[in-house]
Amino acid sequence: MGILSGSRKLEELFTNTDALPTESSKAQTDTEVSVYELFKDARDKKLINTIKLNRGSHIKYVKDGLKGLPSYLVALDASKPWLCFWMLYSLDILGDELSQDLVKKGISTITKLQNPTGGFGGGPGQISHAAATYAAVNALATIGTKEAYDLIDRETLYNWFLKLKREDGSFVMHEGGEVDVRGAYCVLSAATLTNLVTPELTAGTAEWIKRCQNYDGGIGGEPGIEGHGGYTFCGLAAMEIMGKTDLLDIPLLLRWATSLQMQLEGGFQGRPNKLVDGCYSFWVGGLFPLLEAIMTRNLPEKDVEQSNSEVSKYIAQSLFDREALQEYILIACQSPKGGLIDKPKRGADHYHTCYCLSGLSTAQHHVIYDFERAKGKDLDSGARSLLWKDDVTNRIVLGDPNNLINSTHPIHNVALPNVRKMIEHFYGERNF
Amino acid sequence: MALEAEVWSDIKPIPLDDGPDPLAPIAYDAEYSEAMGYFRAISQRDERSERALKLTERIVEYNPAHYTIWHYRQQILFSLNKNLNEELDFVKEQIESNPKNYQLWHHRQVLVEKLMDASCELPFINEILNDDAKNYHAWTYRQWIIRTFNLWENELDFVNKLLDKDVRNNSAWNQRYFTLFFNPTKPTEEFLTQEIEYVIEKIKMAPNNISPWNYIKGIIAKSNKDIGILEELCKEIEKQDIISPHAIGCLVDIYESRARKGSATDKEEGIRICTLLAEKHDAIRKKYWEYRKVILTSL
C-alpha cells in the first residue's frame, strides 16, 4: 500500500470536484498540486526506497530551539511547558539521548512553573492551566529521573484538578477559563501518570464526553460542536483511561477516522473537507492503536476463540494506510532547514515537529494492548497504561531502514519506556 | 512604545524568575519584559486600577494567548465597573487580528455572560465567518450564543446561505444538525422528510462531497429511519457513471443492514462492492473496506 507504490497512478488521485468548484475544493486542489509535485519528483527519481528522515537536521533544529527562541515567539510565552515537552519529546523519539545538562535545565525550568496552589502554569507566576500541566507532566516523564518525578506536588495537584471540575463532569482549562474535551484528557492523562485517578475525579466525565460525539462519529470540543481530530483524540484517550469506551459509537468513530486520510497526500485532515496537516498524523493517526484495542476488546469471546478468527485478524492490524502516512511526512513535511511542517510551503515549528514525529512513530510501529497479560486482573488506569507494548513483528519503515524512530504511548504520547518508568515510580513495582 | 515612567514610579518591577539556565528562553522585547515586570508587582498586591487595566492591554497585544493576563483583566474590569460594551469593541478588534485564539473568544463570552446582552453577537460572528467559514472558535461561540439567548429562529436560513456558497462547508452542515436537533423545539416528521429531500439534492450536485453524506446518514439514524431509503440515490449516481466512494460506501451500509436480517443476496453484493472499494475506488482505505468485507462474511 502507500501512494507512490500503490495500485493507482498519482494523476488519478486528485479529488473529484464533480465539476462544481467551491472555496473548499479550490483550496483542496491547490494543496493537492503542491503535494503532487513533490510526490511526482520522488516517483520519477525512484526515491521511494531510499527516502530519508533527516534526523540530524531535526535534532539540530530542536537543540537550537532549546538554546533560545526569537522575540516574535513571545506569542508562546504562556506555553512554556509545551515548548519543553515538544522539544524534549522530539529528541527522545528521535533517539537522541537527553544530556545531563538538558535533564538539569529541564527540571529547573519546570520547577519554576509549578504553583503552590497546585498544577503548572504556562510560565513562572502564571496561573495553573490543564494543558500546561499535561505538557509539564509529559516533559517530566520524558526527562525520566526520580528528581523530575518528585518535584510534582501530588496533593495540591489533585485538589486543583477537583477545582477544575464542573457539575456536568466536564473540566475547565483553568479557573475562570473555557470548557472543552482537552480539559478532561489533560487532567486524566496527567492523573494517570501520577496515580491520581479516583472515582471522585472521573464521576460524570465519561457521560459528558459521550455527549460530545457527533452524528458523523467524530468528537467535538463540546456537545453540538463539529467533530475534530484533536478533540477526538482527547475524547477517545480520556474514555480509554476511564475504561468507558463502550459509551461511544466505535464503528462510527472508526469510519470517520479512516475517512480523514487523504487519497493523494497520504496524511490526515482534521475535519472532513479541510486540508491535510502534518499534526493530524498523530491526532488522527493516533486514534488507530486505541481503536484497534477497543475493537478487539469488544469482540464477543466466541469470535476470538473459534470461528471468527478472521474478524480478529483484521482488527489486529492498523486500519489506516501506514505507508501513505509515512510518505506524506517524509516527502512533504520535512523542512530542508530542519524541523517538520504542516504542509508544503509552510515553515517549521516545534509543535508540528513534535506531532509529525509522533505520527511517524505511530505509522512505523504497531503498538498494541496486551490482552494476555490483562486477563483476569482488576486493572486501574495506571495498570492499563502499562499494558501497551511495541509489537516488533509488525513494523513498517518506509524508505531508508534507518528512518525507524522510537515508539510512542498511544494514550500519553510519551516514549513507551518512559511511561513505564513513571508509572512504576508512582504506583510502586507492578507485576506486568 | 515605552511605558510612561511617572505612572509607574511607585512600583518596583519584579523580574522574571525562570531559574538559572532555562530551556527555550524567549528573547523578549525590552518593553514586554518591562510590562511583565510591573504586572508581577501589581498582581502580587492584587491592584485593580486604571493603570493596571492599561498594562494588561499592552501585554495582550504582545501575546493574546496570555490567559493569566486576561483573567486578571476581567477582575479589574468588574471591580472598576468599567463599561463592558467598550471592552466588547476592544476584544472585537483583537479577534479580528487573531481569529483563532481561545482566550479572546472566551473573554468575549465572559463579557456577554455578564452583560446578558447578545444583540451585537451574531452580526460580529457573521463577519468573522465571512473571512473563514470554518473557524472552529467562531462556531463554538456561535452555538453558545444561540443556546444561551435562544436565537434559533433564523439559524437555518443562515446555514442555507452558507451551503449555497460552499456546499462542502462541513462546519455549516454540522450547524444544520445543531439547529435541528439541539433546538428545544424538535423537528416534525414532515420537516424531516423535506430535509432528506433537500440533502439528496445537495448530494446530487456533487456526489463526491462527504459532508452531506455524513449528515444524511446522521439524521436517518437520529430519526430511526431505514438507511435503505438512500438506495435509489446511490443507484442513480451509479447509473450516471459517476464514481463516488461515498455512494458505494453507503450501499455497503445498506446491504450490511439487510444481510444482518438474513438476506444472502445483499451479503454477496456487499462483499463484492467492498472489494471494488478496497481495490479500486477507495484504495487509501483498503484495510477499512477489507475489514468491512470480513464483517459481512462473518454474518
Instruction: State whether the Cα torsion B181-B183-B189-B195 is positive or negative.
Output: negative
Say if CB A87 and CB A102 are below 8 A apart. Answer: no
**Residue B108 pLDDT > 80:** yes
* Closest-CA residue to A294 (of A249, A354, A341): A249
Min Cα distance A388 → chain B (Å) is 22
Q: Which of B23, B140, B182 sits opposite A66 (nearest CB)?
A: B23
Residues B1, B60 within the same domain:
yes
Q: In chain B, how many domains are there?
A: 3
Q: pLDDT value at position A306?
A: 54
Inter-chain touch B291–A319, beta carbons under 8 Å: yes
Place of cell 525512484: A46
B156 is in which domain, residue-wise? 152-225
Active site residue A101: no
Residues B234, B286 within the same domain:
yes
Model-level ipTM above the cut of 0.90? yes
Inter-chain touch B168–A87, beta carbons under 8 Å: no
Residues B3, B77 within the same domain:
yes
Residue window 384-423, chain A: list those with CB within 8 Å of chain B: none
**Inside any domain, residue B113:** no
Q: pLDDT value at position A300?
A: 72
Measure Cα distances from B290 to A189, A362, B68, B278, B293 in Å. Answer: 33, 21, 50, 6, 5
Inter-chain touch B18–A254, beta carbons under 8 Å: no
**Inside any domain, residue B46:** yes
Inter-chain touch B288–A258, beta carbons under 8 Å: yes
Residue A353: list chain B partners with CB under 8 A. Answer: none
Residues B2, B78 within the same domain:
yes
Q: pLDDT value at position A432?
A: 65
Q: Which of B143, B168, B288 sits opposite A24 (nearest CB)?
A: B168
- Looking at this protein, which amino acid is placed at residue A139? A
Residue B16: list chain A partners with CB under 8 A. Answer: 124
Percent of chain B with pLDDT over 90: 97
Q: pLDDT value at position A6?
A: 76
Place of cell 535534532: A59
Residues B6, B70 within the same domain:
yes
Residue B211: list chain A partners with CB under 8 A. Answer: 272-273
Min Cα distance B7 → chain A (Å) is 23
Say if CB B237 and CB B207 are below 8 A apart. Answer: yes
Residue B290: list chain A partners with CB under 8 A. Answer: 314
Q: pLDDT value at position A301?
A: 65
Active site residue A279: yes
Min Cα distance B6 → chain A (Å) is 26
- Top residue of A8, A13, A22 to mutate, by most chain B CBs within 10 Å, is A22
**pTM across the whole model:** 0.97
Min Cα distance A84 → chain B (Å) is 7
Query: CA gyration radius for chain B?
Result: 27
Residues B184, B220 within the same domain:
yes
- For A169, the 3-state DSSP assignment is coil
Q: pLDDT value at position A315?
A: 79
Residue B283: list chain A partners with CB under 8 A. Answer: 1, 6-8, 263
Q: Which of A71, A178, A266 sits opposite B27 (nearest CB)?
A: A71
Residues of chain A with pLDDT under 50: none
Residues B220, B280 within the same domain:
no
**Inside any domain, residue B146:** no
**Inside any domain, residue B99:** no
- For A18, the 3-state DSSP assignment is coil
Inter-chain touch B23–A102, beta carbons under 8 Å: yes
Say if CB B67 and CB A127 are below 8 A apart. Answer: yes
* Closest-CA residue to B96 (of B57, B71, B126): B126
Q: pLDDT value at position B199?
A: 98
Q: What is the pLDDT of residues A183-226, one digit of tens each?
A: 999 999 999 999 999 999 999 999 999 999 999 999 999 999 99
Active site residue A77: no
Inter-chain touch B174–A228, beta carbons under 8 Å: no
Q: Domain boundary at B58, B82, B106, which?
A: B82
Provide, for chain B, the percentages of residues in helix, strand and coil under a 3-state DSSP scheme, each rounded to the nearest 5: 70, 0, 30
Q: pLDDT value at position A378?
A: 83
Min Cα distance B199 → chain A (Å) is 15
Length of chain B: 299
Min Cα distance A73 → chain B (Å) is 7
Active site residue A365: no
Q: pLDDT value at position B119?
A: 96
Active site residue A277: yes
Residues B204, B254 within the same domain:
no
Residues B193, B235 within the same domain:
no
CB atoms within 10 A of CB A68: 13
Inter-chain touch A259–B285, beta carbons under 8 Å: yes
**Inside any domain, residue B6:** yes
Q: pLDDT value at position A311?
A: 78
**Residue B156 pLDDT > 90:** yes
Nearest CA in chain A to B287: A319
A78 contacts chain B (CB < 8 A): yes
Q: pLDDT value at position A214?
A: 97
A62 contacts chain B (CB < 8 A): no
Active site residue A400: no
Name the H helices within A46-129. Answer: 55-67, 80-93, 100-111
Min Cα distance B39 → chain A (Å) is 10
Q: List, by residue number, the catalytic residues of B.
A: 100
Residues B234, B221 within the same domain:
no
**Inside any domain, residue B110:** no
Q: Domain boundary at B192, B225, B258, which?
A: B225
Residue window 151-210, chain A: list those with CB within 8 Å of chain B: 173-178, 180
Q: Which of A342-346, A428-432, B198-202, B293-297 is least confident?
A: A428-432
**Considering chain B, what is the average pLDDT of its residues?**
96
Query: CA gyration radius for chain A?
Result: 21
Q: Domain boundary at B225, B246, B276, which?
A: B225
**Inside any domain, residue B183:** yes
Say if CB A271 and CB B170 are below 8 A apart. Answer: yes
Q: Which of A25, A175, A321 sits opposite B284 (nearest CB)?
A: A321
H or E segment and range at residue A33: helix A23-44
Catalytic residue, from A149, A280, A328, A369: name it: A280
- Top residue of A111, A273, A308, A328 to mutate, by most chain B CBs within 10 Å, is A273
**Inside any domain, residue B115:** no
Residues B191, B171 within the same domain:
yes
Measure Cα distances from A268 to A5, A51, A350, A355, A360 in Å. Answer: 19, 20, 19, 12, 12
Q: Give every CB contact of residue A177 below 8 A, 6+ residues apart in sequence.
A: A129, B67, B71, B106
User: Domains plus CATH for chain A?
Assistant: 23-427 (1.50.10.20)
How far the first Cα of chain B sits from its last, in Å, is 72
Residues B237, B217 within the same domain:
no
A23 contacts chain B (CB < 8 A): yes
Distance of alpha carbon A381 from alpha carbon A206, whole angstroms:
14
